[in-house]
Homo-oligomer: A and B are copies of this chain.
Amino acid sequence: TSAVGKNATGLVAATFTPLTSKGEINLAEIGPYVDYLLEQQGVKSIFVNGTTGEGMSLTVEERKLLAAEWCNKAKYKMDNVIVHVGCLSLKDSQELARHAGEIGADGIAVISPSFFKPATADALKQFLQEVAAVAPAVPFYYYHIPAVTGVHLQSRDVLEGIEALIPSFRGLKFSGSDLMDFGQCVSYSPPHWSLLYGMDEQLIGALAMGANGAVGSTYNYLGSRVNKLMSAFNEGDLPMARTIQFQVQDILCYAMDLGFDLAVNKQLMSVVSGLVLGPPRLPLLLCPLPKANSIAQRLQQVLGVQ
């Protein structure tokens, strides 16, 4: 495998960012958060400051403080801390990438800029390359999430020849439903890359296509159950894997019918975990507690937890 770092595999929780009730970052909750994931969910890798972490709503300075604390608290405990460093501004991304290297992150990930959208895969690769170049020793992941960014370039085209541009390239977080594109990425990838799938509600489809891991927000509170899905799948017990997948879907469908966005998701995690994650930041609005409670109840019914 490559000279840089270890590979991300298995379940990776995309963490929420704890805020105080006044909306400031709350570093004190990060230690307990790491322990919760390890002890209650059996989740050993995290993806921080990403979409779930409201990374784009934070300042560069806040993202640095958060990344440092996640790395600090996860050290010697977790397998992988991947720090998302994508920004609209290349310069900001570079600053965060440099910092991630300094604090010993296990990997960095970059989303496509979405205000100005790269016109071609080459334009996007140039952007990614400029970010990766300032942290050449840190494993680099491209983060594909077209429904959010509005950037509909094929991931397969982004991967084409990318190691020549980014020697530290190590894989893909693919949060899209186009499994042909995902499959072609799998087919093209050398063994030392990680193909991480990001739509929790259809994970087994991606596992069938060859995913070797998953990054998602629901693994914050469903990690333990989805670990069983992955084991079942790996042991060839498809009916069991499917049963768990349908449970995940049931919970998400229930939530969607009530109106499910990142704010609700964050509140749900607070309710399920007991962690104090606080409100989201504007333009997201705080989810009313009864809604989160109702989803949490459904979750417990479906999982059969007392």
Interface residues of A (CB under 8 A from B): 54, 56-60, 62, 88-92, 112-120, 122-124, 126-127, 130, 148-150, 156, 177-180, 183-184, 186-187, 199, 201-202, 204-210, 236, 238, 241-242, 245-246, 249-250, 252-253, 261-262, 281-285
Copies in the complex: 4
Note all chain B residues with C-beta closer than 8 A to A208. 204-205, 207-208, 238, 241-242
Whether B116 and A56, one on each chain, are in contact in the complex, defined by CB atoms closer than 8 angstroms, is: yes
Separation of A194 and B54 alpha carbons in the complex (Å)? 34
Residue of B nearest to A245 (CB): B183
Separation of A38 and B59 alpha carbons in the complex (Å)? 37
Whether A183 and B249, one on each chain, are in contact in the complex, defined by CB atoms closer than 8 angstroms, is: yes
Separation of A302 and B150 alpha carbons in the complex (Å)? 33
Closest CB of chain B to A209's CB: distance in Å? 6
Separation of A90 and B283 alpha carbons in the complex (Å)? 8
Closest CB of chain B to A19's CB: distance in Å? 12
Whether B202 and A183, one on each chain, are in contact in the complex, defined by CB atoms closer than 8 angstroms, is: yes
Closest CB of chain B to A258's CB: distance in Å? 13
**Contact partner, A116, options B179, B207, B252, B284, Cβ 8 Å:** B284
Whether A114 and B116, one on each chain, are in contact in the complex, defined by CB atoms closer than 8 angstroms, is: no
